[in-house]
A and B are shown apart, each in its own frame.
Chain A
Amino acid sequence: MKPSRYLVERSTALSRTAVWGAVLAALVLLSLPWWGQPSLMRWAVEVMCFLVLAQMWNLLAGYGGMISVGQQAFVGVGGYGLFIFAQHLGVHPFWAVPLGGVLAALVAAATARLMFRLRAGYFAVGTWVLSEVIRIALSNLSITGGGSGQSLTVMARMPRELRESGTFWIACALLIAASLSINLLLRSRFGLALTAVRDSETAAESQGVDVAGLKFRVYVMAAFGTGLVGALYYLNTLRIAPSSAFDLNWVVAAIFIVVIGGIGTVEGPMLGVALFFGLRWLLADYGSWYWMAMGALAVVVMVVAPQGIWGLIHKKTGIELLPMRRRLRPIP
Chain B
Amino acid sequence: MSEWIATLIQGCLLGGLYALFAIGLSITYGVMRVVNIAHGDFIVLSAYLAMVPVAMLGVHPFVLVLPVALLMFGVGYGLQRLLLNRTIGPDILPPLLVTFGLSILIQNGLLEIFSADSQALQVGALSTASLDLGAGITIGAFPLLVFLVSLLLTLAISLLFNKTPVGVALRATSDDPATAGLMGIRAKHVYALAMGLSFALVAIGGVLSGARTTFTPASGPASLLYAFEAVVIGGMGSLWGTFAGAVILGVAQAVGAELNAGLGVLSGHLVFLAVLIFKPTGLFARTK
Write the residues of chain A forming the contact surface with B, with a CB cutoff of 8 angstroms: 61, 65, 67, 69, 114, 117-118, 120-122, 124-126, 128-130, 132-133, 136-137, 139-140, 248, 252, 255-256, 259, 263, 288-289, 291-292, 294-299, 302-303, 306
In the complex, A117 Cα to B224 Cα: how many Å?
19
Residue of A with least CB distance to B280: A117
Q: Which of A69, A248, A299 contacts B101 (CB 8 A)?
A: A299
Contact string against A for B residues 99-112, beta-carbon threshold 8 Å, 1 for contact and 0 otherwise? 01111110111011
Write the residues of chain B forming the contact surface with A, with a CB cutoff of 8 angstroms: 29, 33-35, 37, 83, 86-87, 92-94, 96-98, 100-105, 107-109, 111-112, 221, 224-225, 228-229, 231-232, 262-263, 265-266, 269-270, 272-273, 276-277, 280
Smallest CB–CB gap between B236 and chain A, Å? 9
Q: Which of A139, A263, A296 contacts B105 (CB 8 A)?
A: A296
Smallest CB–CB gap between B66 and chain A, Å? 30
Residue of A with least CB distance to B266: A136
Inter-chain pairs besides A121-B92, A126-B276, A295-B104, 19 sampled, C-beta below 8 Å:
A114-B276, A121-B29, A124-B35, A133-B269, A133-B273, A136-B262, A136-B265, A137-B266, A139-B262, A140-B266, A288-B112, A292-B108, A295-B101, A296-B101, A298-B100, A299-B98, A302-B94, A302-B101, A306-B93
Q: Do A298 and B97 form a contact, CB below 8 Å, given A121-B34, A136-B269?
A: yes
By a CB distance below 8 angstroms, the chain B residues around A121 are: 29, 33-35, 92, 96
Residue of B with least CB distance to A258: B97
By a CB distance below 8 angstroms, the chain B residues around A296 are: 101, 105
Smallest CB–CB gap between B241 and chain A, Å? 15
Q: Do A303 and B280 form a contact, CB below 8 Å, given A133-B270, A295-B104, A295-B105?
A: no
Q: Are A122 and B35 neighbours in the complex by a CB distance under 8 Å?
A: yes
Which 10 residue pairs across A and B have the least CB separation, nearest first? A121-B35, A295-B104, A295-B105, A298-B101, A288-B108, A299-B101, A117-B280, A291-B108, A295-B101, A136-B266
By a CB distance below 8 angstroms, the chain A residues around B105 are: 292, 295-296, 299
Q: Are B102 and A295 neighbours in the complex by a CB distance under 8 Å?
A: yes
